[in-house]
């Protein structure tokens, strides 16, 4: 039976150790070969993706070229630019992968705005590092000039930090629904979406970075997806990770995951946001399930062969 599936791609699905455009396109082509299995099986596919390394590199390029005649762009515009470039790579790769399997299907990437609350507590305590490393002196000069908050980062220098608020709404989700209902494979909410706040009858960009897994969770909720699939570097979520009694989770309830979170079982900035995003979707959806696993397992999820973590109510 056909399912509506939102897939959140991890960074390893796009970026290898070589940050060139060619290397990233090659990685995306390999990713598309896994994703095409969902379409082959008759499912409706919505793809979301991260952009952390890409937007960081673009920020560096803008900072290096910043001048009166060529001013650097603001962060929301940089997110939009990486949404466009990665979406373009994915769109082309998916079209080719589908054609290779003899499937005639349109693929579209959608520049997507994600609404956040300007009063989100994340704006009072920015924690997401972006951009280049600076000396302490240069960082303090930037702060004195009102150019944001900078913190020392793991002994490597000082970096600007921005807020990472929770998504409240996907502005273009009705468009995503319409595209899916018309039979399109849709790429949307890339990089967590372009962060915007409501202003009058429209929206304006704001300096922030939205976690891609939370954005995917919100999108899956709004389009009433059957599954949210969060792809990462491992097949399963584990408790007691790295210890002799390390245990993989297979079928797990929201209540069990909340208990593990209270025990600090999941690393912040790594597995924790994925688990929290899965919980949010399952709690807020009608009958949806969330799966956390590796990209390599993507073609085995519904065959009973895949080794995955499935989150249910």
Return the active site residues: 11-12, 128, 212, 274
Contacts of 311 (CB under 8 A, 6+ apart): 252, 253, 254, 257, 275, 278, 279, 282, 289, 290, 291, 292
What number of other Cβ atoms are within 10 A of residue 64's Cβ? 9
Helix, strand, or coil here: 149?
strand
Please give the Cα distance from 28 to 182 (Å, whole number). 25
Distance of CA 262 to the CA centre of its chain: 24
Angle, alpha carbons 25-290-51 (nearest 5°): 30
Maximum distance among all Cα pairs of the chain, rounded to whole angstroms? 61
290 near 230, Cβ under 8 Å? Answer: yes
Please give the Cα distance from 157 to 140 (Å, whole number). 12
Angle, alpha carbons 241-232-173 (nearest 5°): 130
Which parts of the chain fold into alpha helices (H)?
Answer: 21-40, 52-65, 75-100, 136-144, 173-181, 212-222, 254-262, 271-284
Q: Is 12 exposed, middle or buried (0-12, 13-18, 19+ CB in 10 A)?
A: middle
């Amino acid at each position: 039976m056909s399912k509506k599936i939102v897939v959140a791609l991890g960074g390893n699905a796009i970026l290898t150790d070589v940050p060139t455009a060619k290397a990233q396109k090659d990685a995306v082509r390999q990713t598309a070969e896994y994703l095409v299995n969902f379409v082959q099986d008759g499912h409706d596919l919505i793809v979301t993706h991260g952009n952390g390394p890409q937007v960081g590199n673009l920020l560096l390029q803008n900072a290096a070229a910043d001048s009166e005649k060529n001013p650097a762009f603001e962060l929301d515009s940089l997110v939009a630019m990486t949404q466009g470039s990665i979406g373009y790579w994915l769109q082309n790769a998916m079209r080719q992968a589908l054609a290779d399997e003899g499937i005639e299907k349109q693929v579209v990437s959608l520049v997507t705005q994600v609404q956040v609350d300007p009063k989100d507590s994340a704006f009072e305590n920015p924690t997401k590092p972006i951009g280049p490393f600076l000396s302490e002196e240069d960082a303090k000069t930037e702060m004195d000039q009102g150019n944001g908050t900078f913190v020392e980062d793991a002994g490597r220098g000082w970096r600007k930090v921005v807020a990472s608020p929770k998504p409240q709404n996907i502005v273009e989700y009705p468009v995503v629904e319409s595209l899916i209902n018309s039979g399109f494979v849709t790429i949307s909410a890339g990089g967590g979406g372009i962060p915007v706040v409501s202003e009058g009858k429209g929206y304006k960009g704001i300096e922030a970075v939205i976690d891609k897994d939370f954005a995917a969770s919100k999108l899956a909720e709004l389009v009433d997806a059957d599954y949210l699939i969060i792809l990462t570097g491992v097949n399963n979520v584990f408790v007691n990770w790295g210890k002799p009694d390390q245990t993989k989770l297979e079928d797990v309830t929201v209540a069990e995951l909340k208990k593990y979170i209270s025990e600090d079982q999941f690393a912040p900035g790594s597995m924790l946001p994925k688990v929290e995003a899965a919980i949010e979707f399952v709690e807020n959806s009608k009958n949806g399930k969330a799966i956390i696993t590796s990209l390599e397992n993507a073609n085995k999820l519904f065959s009973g062969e895949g080794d995955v973590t499935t989150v249910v109510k």
